[in-house]
Amino acid sequence: MRNELKIALENRTLSSFGISIGTGIMLESLFEPTFDRYDESREIPNKINVDKYNIHYYNIFTLARNVLSAISSTRIKIDTLLNNNLLMQTVVDEINTIYELYDGRKCEPVLFIPDYTKLYREMNINKDGSVINNDYMVREYILKHLKQGIQSINMSLSVNNKHILKRNAGKVMITTHIPVDLLNVVHNKNLFLLESHTGKLKGYTEFYTKLHKIGKLNLEVFPFIEEIVFILGDKAVSLPMKLAIRRELHKVAIESGWSSYTSKLVVMKHIMKNDILRSVISEYKKNY
């Protein structure tokens, strides 16, 4: 089975730069490809001058997820992938390839290694369900093999017992599929999300796209703040609350005229006037 896994990883779908397609597509927005693009007809959504940014954070769990999603073989089960160090070796190889692209650039690539253990507890108080899924298992796998793999990583590291990035007055990019990472915009005002798989660059007012959907309701009425992430969920760390509560939040947002630009001060003022939402947030803060 190890040989079969090795072959599956070696034959994963690659794009520019010789790395997994999701990560490769993202890098096409920053650099000229060093290998043939997977889809030459795909229009690159935005060409970014990487030298205008101080730091580009890469969430290690996102890079691992992108490797897994590039494996086409349906015969390789997730538990098989996570029972040896082959995946970690592949992730480390891709990290070092990414690092080399920034040679001579003003922007520093930094590998972000957060630990969401405390957040899992805080963000899921009084919620039904479980965050234990394939994505969660991948994160646990990376943490388990990190000590061994980290010795081979050339990129600068940001190891954290939560999800907090250092304060930075300049422009900062982050590539992550874990939406709570975007809450760092509180103390990094010029934080931008560079999405893998799409290569789109998103600012704060587009972070609402990472919230858990409420049926077909428009999420553009929500600014991306901690309390809203807690109620709506983010499909990674925070489970969504019951539908009735999420609909109540949307109703308040519409009635109060919120948008993705609305300040936290205004949002909390309206939430605390609503009996249902006030109770939910008060319980959350009590256990925080």
Q: Is the pLDDT of residue 39 over 60?
A: yes
Residue 49 shares a structural domain with residue 85: yes
Q: Is residue 64 assigned to a domain?
A: yes
Query: 36 is written with which tokens?
Result: 């043939």
Residue 193 shares a structural domain with residue 222: no
Q: Are 117 and 98 in contact (CB under 8 A)?
A: no
pLDDT in tens, 84-138: 888 999 999 999 999 999 999 999 999 999 999 889 989 998 898 888 788 888 8
d(CA 140, CA 183): 22
Q: Is residue 68 assigned to a domain?
A: yes
pLDDT in tens, 218-245: 999 999 999 999 999 998 999 999 999 9
Q: Is the pLDDT of residue 279 over 70?
A: yes
Q: Is residue 208 assigned to a domain?
A: no
Would the pTM count as exceeding 0.85?
yes
Domain end residue (candidates: 202, 228, 260): 202
- Half-sphere exposure (CA, 13 Å, Cβ side) for 119? 24
Residue 86 shares a structural domain with residue 184: yes
d(CA 55, CA 191): 10
Domain end residue (candidates: 143, 177, 202): 202
CATH number at residue 131: 3.40.50
Residue 198 shares a structural domain with residue 217: no
Residue 143 shares a structural domain with residue 196: yes
CB atoms within 10 A of CB 204: 18
- What is the tally of structural domains in the chain? 2
State the amino acid at position 63 in one-letter form.
Answer: L
Range of the domain at 175: 2-36+45-202
Domain end residue (candidates: 202, 231, 257): 202
